């Protein structure tokens, strides 16, 4: 059997169209370069984000982070 026959079909993360997960599909897991660019644009515009959980430790140590206006970080 060739790779194209054994290849699993996966849903494109952008349009949900089924596309083969194989070496013949250089855009995997996307179905096309267009869907790949749409996803990249979503990351660039910060449409995707990872939720941040704060803890008591963050609140305790944030008091230590006093900004000194006389210091330059450049």
Binding residues for Zn(2+): 12, 15, 31, 35
Binding residues: 12, 15, 31, 35
Helices and strands of the chain, counted as H and E runs: 3, 2
CA distances from 48 to 2, 28, 44, 60 (A): 37, 20, 9, 29
């Amino acid at each position: 059997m060739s790779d194209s026959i054994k290849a699993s079909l996966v849903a494109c993360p952008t349009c949900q169209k089924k596309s083969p997960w194989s070496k013949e599909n250089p855009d995997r897991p996307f179905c096309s370069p267009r869907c790949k660019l749409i996803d990249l644009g979503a990351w660039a515009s910060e449409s995707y984000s990872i939720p941040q959980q704060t803890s008591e430790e963050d609140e305790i140590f944030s008091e230590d982070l006093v900004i000194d206006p006389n210091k330059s970080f450049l």
